Structure 1
Amino acid sequence: MRFALSAEQRDFATSLHDYLTGADTPAAARAWAQGRHEPGLKILRGLAELGVPALLIDEAHGGLGAGPVDLVVAFEALGYHAVPGPLVETAAVAPAVNAAEPWWPALAAGEAFATVLAPPYVPLALDADIASLTLVLRDGAVQEIQSPQREFVRSIDPARRLFQLTGEPVPLGESERAFDLGVLAVAAQLLGAGQWLLDAAVAYARQRAQYGRLIGEYQAVKHLLADVATHLELARPLVHGAAVTLDPRDVSAAKVKAGDAAYLAARTALQVHGAIGYTAEHDLGLRLTKVRALTGSWGDGGFHRERVLAR
C-alpha cells in the first residue's frame, strides 16, 4: 500500500507555512515567554481562521470533521515555526473528550483554550493562565478541574509556560484516544522543529566561510547534515503511519523516533552554527529549548520504548 498526503492536505500545509512565515512567530514566542500573550493570541486566532483547532471537532459543533493525519500535517507546521500556546491540548486532546462537547464550538473558533494534565507523563499544565477548560487524563478516565489554583513553574523552554494546579477534579467520562492524540501531536511538532533546525543549519553552512571556504563544502559537515536528514526522513513515515492507525504502539514508536531525530537535529544545528547558536537573540535557541522540552513531554523515550515493548 502506498501512503501519501492528498492534494488538499499539501495545500493546507502550504497555507499554514505561508501564514506563519509572515506572522513573526519568534517575536510572539519571546513575548509569550514574558507573559505577554497578545502577539501569540493574534497568531492563534489566525490559525483558527485556517481551521487548526477545528480539525478534529465534528462539523455539527463548528468543526471540520477531519482526521489525525490532518492533525499531523498541521502540527508539523506549528513545530516548524515554534508557535506558542496550548495547541496540543486545544486541537488534539479536548476534541477527543466527548464530555467536552459544550466547549467544542468555542475551541474550534479560537475563542477558548484547553489545558491538560496526564500524570505522571504530563504533571504540569501548559498555559493554564489562558485556558478556560482544564482536563485531567488518568488511565483512560477524564476529569475536569473547575477554577483551579495555579502556581507558575519555570520550563527549560521559556515559551512553554507551565503551571502546577490544585483543585477538586470532577469526573467527566472516558477517552481512550485523548492521550495518544496528544502524544501524536507532540511527535509531529518535534518532526517540524527538527526540519527547521536542519534547514537553518544547511542555510548557514552555505553562507558561513572558514579558511577561505564555505563550511558546507567540508565533507565532515556534509555528513553531519545528511545524517540528520536521514533520521528525519525515517521518522516521518512513522509519525504519519501512527496517524493512520492511532495504535498506541505506533504512536509511541513515532514519538521515540521523532524525538531522537529532532534532538540530533538540534545538536547538529548548534554544532554547525558555533558560538552564534548560543546567543539568546538567534532564533535557533527557540527550537533548541523547545525540542529539549518536547522530547520529555507527554512521556519520555523510556516510557514510550517500554510501551512499544509491552505491545
Structure 2
Amino acid sequence: MDFQLTQEQRDLRAGVRDLLAGRYGREALRASTGDPSGRVVDRGLWRELGDAGLFALRLPETEGGVGLGMPEAVLAFEEAGRVLLPGPLVATHLAAGVVPGAAQGTAVVTARDLDGGLVTYLGEADAVLGADGVPAGTPVRSVDPLTPLHRVSASASASADPYPCSYRSEGSLLTAALQVGSALRTVELAVRYAGEREQFGRPIGAFQAVKHLCAGMLVRAEVARTAVYAAAVTGDPGEVAAAKLLADEAAVRGARDCLQVHGGMGFTWEADVHLHLKRAWLRAEQWRTAGEAEEALAAELLASAG
C-alpha cells in the first residue's frame, strides 16, 4: 500500500495553509483571545472555509460537495490544527449534507463530543449535530480561552453516546489530525526558540538536553502523523483508535516539552505555546478519550487474535 501523497493532495494542503496564513495568522489568533465580546468564531472566515470546500470536502459532487475522501480531509484539518483555528470544525464537517448551511460554512454546527454534558461553542452555534435545535446551557470556565464551554441539562444530554460509530470514528480521526498539526507546530516553535535564545554565549539548542527534547517531540509528531494518515486510508477502527491515542500524546507532550524549551518565557501570555497545550488538553477529551481509545484498540486486537 502506497502512503505517499499525490500532487493533488500536496496542492490541497498547500492551498489550505495559504488560506489560513492569510486569514488567521498569529495576529488574528491573538486578537481572538482578547475579543471583549467573548466570541471566537469568525463568521466571515467560516464562510470562506465553506467556499474553499473544507466542510464539503467528503460530500459527493452530486450533492454539491468536493467528492474527496478522508485522506484529503485529515490533510486539511492538520493545517487548521497548526494555526489553532477556533470553532467546531469537526462537527460542522460531519454535518455537511445533514444540517442546512453546514457545507457552505453559513452555519456553525457543534456536537456533544465531550463527557459531563459539556458542549463547545454552544453560544455561537446555529445547530447541534444530531439534536433538534440548540439547547440552553450554562457557561463553564474553559481551560482553553478559544474553546468556550457550556453545560447543558441532563435531559438535553441524556444519551451516553448520542452518535453512531461512524460519527464517533470520523470525529476521532479528524480531531487527531488537528492534534497532529498542533504537535508539528510546537516542534517548529521549540526549534526556533532554541536557535534564538542564548545561554553562556551559545544558543540553547546546542545543549544536549534541549536537543533531546526537540528530537523526542519530532519523533512523536511524525509517528502520530503517520498513524493518522494510515487510518485515513484504511478506515480500520483499531487504527483510528491508535491514531487518536498517538496524536493526543504527541500534542500534549509536545506542548509541554516546547514549554520546557522556552523556560520561564513559556509560561507568559506572550508565548503561543500555552495556547497549544490548553487546546491539546481539551481535544484529548473530544470524541474519544484515551480510555475509550484503549478499550476500542484492545477490542480490535482481541477480535483479530481470536
Amino acid at match of 1:9: Q
SS at match of 1:152: strand
CA separation of 1:35 and 1:119: change in aligned 2, threshold 3 A:
closer
CA distance in 2, matches of 1:229, 1:278: 22
Map 1:229-240 to 2 at 5 A. Answer: 229-240=218-229
Question: Is 1:235–1:261's contact at 8 Å kept on the other side of the alignment?
Answer: yes
1:36 aligns with 2:39: yes
Paired residue for 1:27?
30
Of all paired residues, the percent bearing the same amino acid is 36
Q: Aligned with 1:108: secondary structure?
A: coil
Secondary structure of the structure 2 residue equivalent to 1:85: coil
1:244-290 superposed Cα distances (whole Å, 9 cap, x missing partner): 12222111100001111112211110011111111112222221211
Match of 2:120 among 105, 126, 141: 126
Contact 1:184 1:254 in 2 (8 A): yes
- Between the aligned partners of 1:34 and 1:287, the Cα distance in structure 2 is 22
Distance 1:230 1:17, change over 3 A: same
Match of 2:131 in 1: 144
| Corresponding residue number in structure 1 for 2:303 | none
Corresponding residue number in structure 2 for 1:15 = 15
Distance 2:53 2:34 in 1: 24
Contact persistence 2:244–2:293 (CA under 8 A): yes
- TM-score relative to the length of structure 1: 0.87
Q: Which runs of structure 2 are paired with 1:205-244 in the superposition (5 Å)? A: 205-244=194-233
Residue 68 of structure 1 aligns to which amino acid in structure 2?
M
Q: 1:170 to 1:146 in 2, by over 3 A?
A: farther
When residues 28 and 181 of structure 1 are mapped into structure 2, their CA distance, relative to the original with a 3 A threshold, is farther
Find the residue that maps to 1:3 and give its secondary structure. coil
Indicate how the Cα distance of structure 1 residues 127 and 119 shifts in structure 2: closer, same or farther if over 3 A, else same.
Answer: closer
Per the alignment, residue 113 of structure 1 pairs with 108
What's the CA shift string for 1:22-53, capped at 9, x where partnerless?
32341353146952346x22322222222111
Gaps of 5+ in 2: 301-306
- Which deviates the most, 53-62 or 288-297? 53-62
Unaligned runs of 5+ in 1: 136-142
Alpha-carbon distance, 1:149 to partner: 1.3
The letter of the residue matching 1:245 is: T
Instruction: Kindly provide the CA deviation profile for residues 146-189 of structure 1, in whole angstroms up to 9, marking residues without a partner as x.
Output: 24112212211111112222466899x97431111110111001
Give aligned pairs, total.
294
Partners of 1:159 and 1:188 in 2: CA distance? 18
Task: Report the counterpart of residue 140 of structure 1 in structure 2.
Answer: none
Which 4+ stretches in 1 moved above 6 angstroms? none
Q: TM-score, normalization: structure 2?
A: 0.88
Query: Greater CA deviation, 173-182 or 149-158?
Result: 173-182
Task: Give yes or no for contact 2:122–2:134 (8 Å, CA) kept in 1.
Answer: no
In structure 1, what is the Cα distance between the partners aligned to 2:113 and 2:252?
A: 24
Counterparts of residues 1-311 of structure 1 (less than 5 Å): 1-23=1-23, 24=25, 25-31=28-34, 35-37=38-40, 40-91=42-93, 93-95=94-96, 101=98, 103-104=99-100, 106-118=101-113, 120=115, 123-135=117-129, 143-166=130-153, 175-311=164-300
Where 2:53 maps in the other structure, the secondary structure is: coil
Q: RMSD in angstroms over aligned alpha carbons? A: 2.3
Rounded Cα–Cα distance in structure 2 between residues aligned with 1:219 and 1:235: 24
Q: Distance in 2 between matches of 1:16 and 1:33?
A: 28
Query: Residue 32 of structure 1 contacts residue 159 of structure 1 at CA under 8 Å; is this kept in 2?
Result: no
Q: Quick check: 2:255–2:274 contact (8 Å CA) kept in 1? A: no
SS at match of 1:117: coil
Contact 1:144 1:169 (8 Å CA) reproduced: no
Q: How far did 1:123 drift?
A: 3.6
Find the residue that maps to 2:131 and give its secondary structure: strand
Q: Return the letter of the residue paired with 2:120.
A: L
Contact 1:17 / 1:77 at 8 angstroms: preserved in 2? yes
| Cα contact 1:190–1:294 (8 A) shared by 2 | yes
CA-CA distance at 1:2 after TM superposition: 2.0
Instruction: Indicate the structure with greater strand content.
Output: 1
